[in-house]
Amino acid sequence: MLTKSLKTTLNQNLVLRNLSVRGFSVKEYDLAVIGGGPGGYVAAIKGGQMGLKTVCIEKRGSLGGTCLNVDCIPSKALLHSTHKFHDAQANFKSIGIETGPVTMNFDKLMQSKTKAVTGLTGGIEFLFKKNKVDYMKGWGKFSGPNSVAVDMNDGSKDEIKAKNVIIATGSEPSSLPAGMLDIDEEYVVTSTGALELKKIPKKMVIVGAGVIGLEMGSVYSRLGTEVTVVQHVDRICPFLDNEISDAFMKILKKQGIKFQLNSRLTGGTNNKEKGVVVELETPKGKENLDADVVLLSIGRRPFTEGLQVEKAGLEINKFGRIDIGKNW
Ligand SMILES: Cc1cc2nc3c(=O)[nH]c(=O)nc-3n(C[C@H](O)[C@H](O)[C@H](O)COP(=O)(O)OP(=O)(O)OC[C@H]3O[C@@H](n4cnc5c(N)ncnc54)[C@H](O)[C@@H]3O)c2cc1C
């Protein structure tokens, strides 16, 4: 014989199951996109335009991903403004434009960068509404092949079902082995921290001469920072043609950037406001460089943390990427 409380529980479960079957508790979609960066938000908008019932799940709290929030757009905003500053200081006079001393208000420079970012990220929310894409602010993780659990940013939990799921969770900066020179985003920074510095550093060491390191190096050298770029091979941007990378290095040298090629970082000490010392192995032997800020721009790696891909029957391969077998 059933006890009264057990009967109540069973009835409640039956009601819940019926509600679920009728779609009251778990929202169902044709397409769920995890990640609201350029990969994810464009796919979500396209889904909406094609008539698919679409949701995009993004944990950052604003759309546009790494690119719009903390990388391409803010770095291009700073490159643009500092280019104008440099032009006014170095080139105006030669074409007859005479000014008084040209100075930089660093706080205003950073504010204008932030304004460029918020204008664009807000625009994507508008496009979501226009194309009937639902937007969930939270951390998405697979709870099954066709279901995604979402830890909402407001602390609540939700779950959706989707016929198709697009993973567009992007990448994160690579770091050095633990303890070698740990990132604090204040004195030892990635590009994200370099875009948020509170003041112009006197000296900056940039480890890695790829596009990200060099564009941040350009920004700060134009602002008067003494910039040294450390590169482990014999040229910058090794993925470019030799001729182009040589010409590029000449331009950057003319701008005042110093290069330490064939040099490898072996360690360092972060003394915070007293400066950071980096230890190098160079063709001439061991050498130390000191700086107010060290930027580590040594590449990026796939970001799949907490995604629980195994619940969707997927695997992460030895490169940290989701294994998609022969389909690439
Ligand atoms: C300094 C810098 C400058 C750059 N400049 C340029 C440039 O000039 N031109 C160019 O073409 N490219 C540039 N790039 C590269 C560009 O940023 C990337 O190619 C682009 O952001 C990739 O888009 P994505 O959508 O794949 O990933 P991302 O932009 O990284 O977006 C992924 C999003 O997924 C979210 N996310 C991750 N996991 C979850 C989860 N489980 N649940 C919910 N949300 C999640 C993240 O919060 C993030 O917002 C630059 C990169 C850097 C670092």
Confidence of residue 113 (pLDDT cuts 50, 70, 90): very high
Query: Domain check: are 168 and 21 in the same one?
Result: yes
pLDDT tens per residue across span 238-271: 999 999 999 999 999 999 999 999 999 999 999 9
**Distance between CA atoms of residues 100 and 89, nearest Å:** 10
Q: Tell me the average pLDDT of the chain.
A: 92
Tokens of 58: 């993004």
Give yes or no for residue 292 CB within 6 A of ligand 1. Answer: no
Cβ of residue 308 lying under 6 Å from some atom of ligand 1: no
Say if residue 157 is in the same domain as residue 210. Answer: no
At residue 121, the pLDDT reads 92
Domain assignment present for 120? yes
For residues 218 and 291, membership in a common domain is answered with yes
Judge if 149 and 245 occupy the same domain. no
Residues 309 and 292 in one domain: no
Residue 173: pLDDT band by 50, 70, 90 thresholds? Answer: very high
Q: Does residue 300 carry a pLDDT above 90? A: yes
Which residue out of 57, 62, 70, 71 has the highest number of ligand 1 atoms within 8 Å of its CB and is therefore the one to mutate? Answer: 71
Query: Are both 151 and 200 inside the same structural domain?
Result: no
Contacts of 126 (CB under 8 A, 6+ apart): none
So what's the pLDDT on residue 326? Answer: 73
Angle between helix 72-90 and 106-130 (nearest 10): 140
pLDDT at 8 (0 to 100): 39
**CA gap 199, 63 in Å, rounded:** 27
Angle at 305 between CA 309 and CA 132, to 5 degrees: 70
Does residue 136 sit in the same domain as residue 194?
no
Q: Residue 53 pLDDT more than 80?
A: yes
Do both 271 and 230 map to the same domain? yes
Domain that holds residue 81: 10-172+301-328
In the block, tokens 């079957």 appear at 21
Tell me the CA–centroid distance for residue 65 and ligand 1, in Å. 5
Among the atoms of ligand 1, which is closest to the Cα of residue 212? 1
21 and 43 housed in the same domain: yes
Q: Check residue 324 and give its pLDDT.
A: 82
Regarding whether 192 and 58 lie in a shared domain, the answer is no
Check if 190 has its Cβ closer than 6 Å to any atom of ligand 1. no
Q: How many CA atoms lie within 13 A of 192 on its CB side?
A: 16
* Residue 26 pLDDT grade (very low, low, confident, very high; cuts 50, 70, 90): confident
> Does residue 48 line the site of ligand 1, with CB under 6 A?
no
197, 118: one domain: no
Q: What is the pLDDT of residue 319?
A: 84
Do 33 and 150 lie in a common domain?
yes
Percent of the chain with pLDDT over 70: 92
Number of domains in the chain: 2
Question: Within a domain: residue 322?
Answer: yes
Supply the pLDDT for residue 3. Answer: 40
Q: Is the pLDDT of residue 126 over 80?
A: yes
Main-chain phi, psi angles of 160, to 5 degrees: -130, 160
